[in-house]
Each structure stands twice: as structure tokens, then as C-alpha cells.
């Protein structure tokens, strides 16, 4: 036990002084040392002959020296940039939907909220002739997501009071109880329960744009609450008393969120001028009423499709993830795993119909941020190292090299003469300074390898698959790679 300043109690410190000069009876750590003066060769160790072989192999290839010189002075992406792919991946598309100016999630993990709100605000800009900079408040939804997620976490703690400290499940729950990531169904839960407001009604704060310290302090408190609830449950406290205490805990979380993000409005007035300079006022309306009356977007018609070719998963099967969600009384996360072409066809058809598409992908792979390009051949790493890189999509998931970590929006596609996609237009949420004023071009082969999920209208999905979507889902552990987008930091 340590005291409040991290020191041992004074009685223990005195005891330590009395015994400081005594020989230690503790065993010495075991180290690998030769015996009888003879050196033992460890199996698998890098010995002198192996090291000499590595060095000789490197020095025998002149191209290695050239690569070393180049990479020593220039970043690997710049050295290996494939100029031909840069030329081919221009930002011109045969189908390009109207959308607003690029948005920025700043130093936060709110991509899924931005990607969810951007199609809605694009529809509003078009219908009400709004300025292209118009946005719906991401801060508003983040407030409710954090509060709901705190409740979801504490309920999960109550469900797992018998889990021992150090178990994989408890470790998972405690790792990031209020982090920023999320999933499509979690977004839908927030919209249905809380509606939306214009960004001018609940604008950004320092903590909404840079969530680190807010998350840090609330996480500290939630872990403290978790310890308290588990100890009380193990003492035999009734569920009624535990939940009463949980409500007190949530009141504290609400207070902390309000300090960081501001209080969400219950009702509000919204005034704006359209592109024709006409004045409009919507008075005394709730966020839920505002969404139903003024946001021309059918959120209930959408379903989530994933393409996950792991051998552990089957196509035509619905999956969910345990202990992964936000709103206790909302929908669970639900995906239908489909063949790649099904997912791709539904996306193309939705874009043809004039509606943008929310999607989840692994954005960190083969991506040039400044050029705004996602392409499997954008970098020629193989020529630099003289080796091939061979993991396929399933293996990358199996061995931890890829997972959904970012949500964006498809706003266009470039189709060839036969109607097949060549490249895709992507609305990101990293501001206007990257890509083509915030928009990216994605090659079709990148789509194949790193796009994992889309939210599309049911009418673009084969009827037999919609029936499958309504079946009981197979439960996955919360650390499955298909849940990574909802657990990003």
C-alpha cells in the first residue's frame, strides 16, 4: 500500500532502513551464462557466420547501396512514389455527386460521425440552397455518444463482475471505455434518439476538436467507477443499489462532458440566409423534430454490408460483436458478410441514384495524403527493397496487418465503357489542405483490398440477402477486426 503521494507508509520505510544493510535472501535472476568456461551456442541465435552472410548478401547488390543513399535523405513514400499512377488517378469522375466543402475532424477520432452527417448536410445544402460550408453539429452527437457510451461501459461492468482482473474481456472493457471511434449502427442509434442540430447551434470547442484530455480524465473516472461497482457487487450489494449508484456516476460524467463540450440544446431557433440571400427562421424546435422535418435523408432504409473473406467467417451470414455499442436501448451492431462484387454493385447503384455512401476502410495503407490518392500501386516498395509483399485481404485480417480504422463517404465513381468502376471519389474529414480540397481518388484495386464495409439502401441489395440480414446474427468477440472502427483511439 502506498500513501497519497506515492510513498510507502512510514512504518514500512523505517523497517526498510533497518534491513537495508542485511544480505538479501532473494534469489538472483537467472541469466544465460557459459559454464566451465565454454561458450554454448543457443539454437536460433544470430551467430557470426550468419551475420557475415547477411552483410555479404547486402553488399553484393549495387541496388541496395543506391536504395540506402536515397532513403537516407528522402522519405520512403517519396522515393517510391509511382508517378504513372499519380497521372492515372486524376480527380475527374463520370459520376460525381454534389457535396459540401471538406470538413475536418481535427485531432479526434470522430470520422464515423463526420461520415454519417456529411450525406445529410449535402442533401440539406441542395434542398434549401445553403452555403457549401454548412455543417450539422458533430459536437452535439459526440456529447450524446460519450454519455451513452459511459452508460454502456458501466452496464458491461455490471454484467461481468465475475470476470477476474486480468481476463481478456475485462482488459478489453477497461482499455478505452470512452474513445472516439464508432460504427454505422451506433450512428443510427444516436440519430434516432437525439436527432441533429446545425453546427451553429452547438459549435466546436477545444475538447471536441482535440479529445485527448477530455477522454483521459473521463476514462480515469470510469475506471474508478468500474472498481467501485465490482467491489460493491462482490460484497453482495443489490442490483437496485448498484444501478442507483451508477446513475450518480453518470451525472458526474454528464458534468464533465458539459464542461468540455457545452450542454446540448433541448430546443433551439435556427436562422440562415440561402444562396439567394433570402432570410429564413425555424423557431422553437427540438433536435428530434428538426431531423424529421428538415433533414431529407432516410436513415432507416440503410443496411450494413461487409466484405470479410476470412476463413472464420461465411458469406451470406449476419454478424454482431459482443460488448460493442453505445445506446443500451438502441440497435446492436449488425453486418451482413457478402461477396465483394455484391458490396461493390450496391455502392455503384446507390451513387447512380444520386445518393452518397458511408463506408469503412483501412485508410493507412497505400495512401498519399497530400495528393489525396488511395491506390495499391501508388508506392513501389518492392523495387526499393528487392522483395515482394504477399499477404492477401484475408491474411492481412488474420495476422493483424489490416482492419477498419476510418470512415469516409463515396461521392462519385468513374465507370468505364462497360460500366465497371475504375476509380472512386471519396469525401474525407481531414480538412481542405489534403488531396483535391479534401477529396480523395481511390483506385478500384484499392477498394478491393481495403474497403470492408458500406451502408447502402436495401433496394440495392439482392432480396435473398435482405432476408438473410433479418436472421439471428453470429456473435463475434469485441476484439474481432470487424469491430476495429468502433474501437479506434
Options 89, 139, 189, 428, the catalytic residue: 428
The CA distance from 367 to 298, in Å, is: 32
Nearest-angstrom CA–CA distance, 374 and 440: 7
Q: What is the three-class DSSP state of 43? A: coil
Q: Is 320:486 a contact under the CB 8 Å cutoff?
A: no
What is the length of the chain?
489
With b meaning 16 or more CB within 10 Å and e meaning fewer, what string describes 454-463?
bbbbeebbee
Q: Name residues whose C-beta falls within 8 Å of residue 9's C-beta, 6 or more positions apart in sequence.
A: 1, 2, 3
Alpha-carbon span 260 to 216, nearest angstrom: 12
Task: Based on the residue annotation, tell me whether 304 is a catalytic residue of this protein.
Answer: no
Q: Is 5 helix (H, G, I), strand (E, B) or coil?
A: coil
Q: How far is the C-alpha of 84 from the C-alpha of 260, rounded, in Å?
A: 47
Write the CA distances from 459 to 21, 269, 455, 456, 471, integer angstroms: 80, 36, 12, 8, 18
In sequence order, what are the beta bridge partners of 414?
A: 423
Output the CA–CA distances (angstroms, integers) from residue 425 to 96, 244, 395, 407, 443, in the order listed.
7, 50, 27, 14, 9
Quickly tell me which residue has 496487418 as its cell: 401
* Helices (H), ranges, 179-238: 184-194, 206-209, 212-234
Q: 134 with 118: CB under 8 angstroms?
A: no
Apex CA 426: angle with CA 272 and CA 479, to 5°? 105
Which one is catalytic: 82, 91, 111, 139? 111
Clarify whether 337 is annotated catalytic. Answer: no
- Asked whether 245 and 229 are in contact (CB, 8 A), the reply is yes
Going through 72-161 in order, the beta strands assigned E by DSSP cover: 95-96
In order, the DSSP letters of 146-160 are HHHHHHHHHHHHHHT
CA distance 230 to 159: 10
Tell me which of 91, 260, 307, 406 is the catalytic residue. Answer: 406
Give residue 88's Cα distance to chain centre: 29
What is the per-residue DSSP string for 370-412? TTTEE-TTSB-HHHHHT------HHHHHHTTS----EEEEEEE
- Is 401 an active-site residue? no
Measured distance CA(293)–CA(291) in Å, rounded: 6
Residues annotated as catalytic are 111, 406, 428
Amino acid at each position: 500500500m502506498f500513501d497519497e503521494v506515492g510513498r510507502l507508509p512510514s512504518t514500512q520505510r523505517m523497517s526498510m532502513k533497518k534491513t537495508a544493510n542485511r544480505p538479501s535472501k532473494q534469489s538472483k535472476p537467472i541469466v544465460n551464462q557459459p559454464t566451465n568456461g565454454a561458450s554454448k551456442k543457443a539454437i536460433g541465435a544470430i551467430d557470426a557466420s550468419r551475420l557475415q552472410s547477411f552483410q555479404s548478401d547486402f553488399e553484393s547488390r549495387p541496388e541496395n547501396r543506391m536504395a540506402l543513399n536515397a532513403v537516407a535523405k528522402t522519405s520512403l513514400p517519396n522515393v517510391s512514389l509511382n508517378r504513372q499512377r499519380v497521372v492515372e488517378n486524376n480527380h475527374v469522375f463520370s459520376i460525381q455527386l454534389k457535396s459540401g466543402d471538406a470538413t475536418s475532424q481535427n485531432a479526434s477520432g470522430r470520422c464515423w460521425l463526420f461520415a454519417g452527417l456529411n450525406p445529410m448536410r449535402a442533401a440539406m445544402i441542395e434542398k434549401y440552397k445553403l452555403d457549401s460550408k454548412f455543417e450539422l453539429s458533430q459536437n452535439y452527437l459526440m456529447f450524446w455518444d460519450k454519455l451513452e457510451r459511459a452508460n454502456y461501459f458501466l452496464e458491461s461492468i455490471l454484467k461481468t463482475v465475475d470476470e477476474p482482473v486480468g481476463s481478456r474481456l475485462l482488459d478489453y472493457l477497461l482499455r478505452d471505455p470512452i474513445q472516439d471511434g464508432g460504427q454505422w449502427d451506433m450512428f443510427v442509434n444516436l440519430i434516432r434518439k437525439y436527432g441533429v442540430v446545425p453546427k451553429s447551434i452547438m459549435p466546436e470547442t477545444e475538447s471536441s476538436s482535440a479529445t485527448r484530455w477530455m477522454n483521459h480524465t473521463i476514462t480515469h473516472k470510469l475506471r474508478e467507477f468500474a472498481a467501485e461497482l465490482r467491489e460493491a457487487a462482490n460484497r453482495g450489494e443489490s442490483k437496485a443499489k448498484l444501478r442507483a449508484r451508477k446513475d450518480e456516476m453518470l451525472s458526474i460524467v454528464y458534468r464533465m462532458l458539459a464542461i468540455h463540450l457545452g450542454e446540448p440544446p433541448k430546443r433551439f431557433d435556427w436562422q440562415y440566409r440561402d444562396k439567394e440571400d433570402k432570410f429564413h427562421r425555424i423557431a422553437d424546435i427540438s433536435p428530434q423534430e428538426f431531423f424529421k422535418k428538415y433533414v431529407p435523408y432516410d436513415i432507416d432504409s440503410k443496411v450494413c454490408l461487409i466484405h470479410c473473406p476470412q476463413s472464420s467467417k461465411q458469406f451470406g451470414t449476419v454478424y454482431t460483436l459482443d460488448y460493442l455499442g453505445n445506446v443500451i436501448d438502441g440497435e446492436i451492431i449488425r453486418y451482413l458478410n457478402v461477396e465483394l462484387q455484391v458490396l461493390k454493385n450496391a455502392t455503384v447503384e446507390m451513387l447512380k441514384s444520386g445518393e452518397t455512401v458511408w463506408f469503412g476502410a483501412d485508410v493507412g495503407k497505400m495512401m498519399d495524403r497530400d495528393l489525396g490518392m488511395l491506390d495499391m500501386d501508388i508506392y513501389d516498395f518492392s523495387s526499393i527493397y528487392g522483395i515482394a509483399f504477399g499477404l492477401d485481404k484475408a491474411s492481412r485480417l488474420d495476422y493483424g496487418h489490416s482492419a477498419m480504422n476510418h470512415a469516409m463517404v463515396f461521392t462519385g465513381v468513374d465507370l468505364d465503357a462497360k460500366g465497371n468502376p475504375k476509380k472512386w471519389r471519396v469525401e474525407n474529414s481531414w480538412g481542405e489542405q489534403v488531396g483535391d480540397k479534401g477529396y480523395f481518388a481511390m483506385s478500384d484495386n484499392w477498394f478491393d483490398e481495403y474497403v470492408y464495409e458500406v451502408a447502402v439502401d436495401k433496394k440495392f441489395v439482392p432480396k435473398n440477402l435482405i432476408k438473410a440480414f433479418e436472421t439471428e446474427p453470429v456473435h463475434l468477440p469485441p476484439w474481432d477486426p470487424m469491430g476495429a472502427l468502433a474501437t479506434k483511439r
